[in-house]
Structure 1
Amino acid sequence: MRTAFIAQIERLTADLGEMCALAAVTAADATTAVVEADSAAAARVRATLRRLDQLNSRVDRSAFALLALHAPVAHDLRVVISAFSIAANADRMGALAANIAKTGPAPEPTRALLAQMGRQAVALAECAQRAVLGDDAAEADRLLRDDAVMNDLHRKLLGAVLTDRWPHGVQSASDVALLGRFYERFADNAVEIARKVIFQARGEAPVTDPSLH
């Protein structure tokens, strides 16, 4: 019975790791869509999001089954309980990437910054994947620190569009500001995954460093 339980936990963790990896893929493709006006990349985001939705449902079913059939305790219970939230966060990351992809081509002055935000989004999702697969609180701590990079990029993006010198009009500025918000929320969901990994690994919530906000 214990062997079967461990195998099911491993499958659950593998699914969560795959979801984080797919979130990274959506961030990369969404950024290509807005920076390079690539409609094929936007279509790939939609296809990947469908896979994320499927995995999210499978994780929910697996976690409920583990709770019902095995009544896990201590660390195992934290892993199963965290799975619901981690899957939901990864699924939201894909949905946010889909919102980015359908925004349309970004104005030229912002493309370099948006490309940087895209790369940082990918890096955060990949860090989340490593943390989840390794039950690695140290990797999760790193993700919490690296989130500050996205916050800085978001401030720079807003500074670029919220100025009298912005040449592309109010609607364009609004669209770019919304893009920045989508990237920031993508990063926020990666942070939430990191916090869940720290909880399941250590049995405690992470200490928030006020200097990171």
Structure 2
Amino acid sequence: MREGFQDDLHRLTARLADMCDAAASAIRDATTALINADLGLAQQVIAADDTLDAQRAQCEEDAYALLALQAPVAGDLRRVLAVVYCAEKIERMGDLAAHIADTARFAHPSPAVPPELAPTFERMGCLDTEIAERVATQIRTGTDGFQELRQADEAVDTLHADLLAGLTGEDWGHDQRAAVTAALTTRFYERFADQAVSVAKRLEFASTGDLPR
């Protein structure tokens, strides 16, 4: 029974890693759609979010089945509960990517953000993608990556703060609507990174029993 439990837990964590890969692809494609005003790609990201929602539901169902049938304790219990927590966070990452894609869809055929801001959004998209990919690796390998990911998250926070400062500065050359759109969109990137780091933090807790600071 114990061996079967470990096999089930391995499959559960593999599904969680697949979810994180999907979130990484979503934020990468959403960024491309945002910068290039690519309606087709934006719609793909929005549609794919339903799949991620279904994956989260399946993860939760399987985790609860393990809790009910196997009654794990100590480290195994932390790992199963971590899957439930992390699946919710990763599903939220997919939602945030879909919000960015929806911003691109709504603005089409015009770009959703001014061209001079495109490099900043592209950089945030790259960082978010890298963060999600690192979390997927952490899930698969069981390695700790919270501190490294927190540094990447801080880089996203800095870009977010710098962009907001520019939107409210005297040199802003666009209307209020453009400023609001850019502010909301950069917030989606900032929150995506926050959710990913929260996953990394919970994974480290599941592994060690201590919440990293």
What displacement does 1:27 show?
0.3
Task: Give distance in 2, aligned partners of 1:106 and 1:37.
Answer: 9
What displacement does 1:167 show?
1.2
What displacement does 1:168 show?
1.2
Encode CA deviations 1:181-211: one digit per residue, 9 max, x unaligned.
110010110011011111001101111xxxx
> Which of 200, 203, 212 is equivalent to 1:206?
212
Indicate yes or no: 2:163 matched with 1:146: no
Count of residues in Structure 1 that have an aligned counterpart in Structure 2: 206
Encode CA deviations 1:127-169: one digit per residue, 9 max, x unaligned.
11111112212x2331122211101111121122111221111
Indicate yes or no: 2:132 matched with 1:125: yes
**RMSD across aligned C-alpha pairs, in angstroms?**
1.0
Q: Which residue of 1 aligns with 2:123?
A: 116
Task: Give distance in 1, aligned partners of 2:39 and 2:49.
Answer: 16
Indicate yes or no: 2:6 matched with 1:2: no
Task: Give distance in 1, aligned partners of 2:195 and 2:188.
Answer: 11
What displacement does 1:170 show?
0.8
What displacement does 1:176 show?
0.1
Q: Which runs of 5+ in 2 are unaligned?
A: 105-111
Q: Which residue of 2 aligns with 1:98?
A: 98
Q: Is the 8 A contact 2:13 2:139 kept in 1?
A: yes
Encode CA deviations 1:61-86: one digit per residue, 9 max, x unaligned.
01000000001111111110111110
The share of aligned pairs that are identical, in percent, is 38
What displacement does 1:57 show?
0.5
Q: Which runs of 5+ in 1 are unaligned?
A: 208-213
Q: What does 1:21-100 align with in structure 2 at a 5 Å threshold?
A: 21-100=21-100
Q: Secondary structure at the match of 2:103?
A: coil
> Which of 174, 184, 197 is equivalent to 1:191?
197
TM-score between both structures, scaled by the size of structure 2? 0.94
Q: Which amino acid aligns with 2:152?
A: D
Q: Which amino acid aligns with 1:59?
A: C
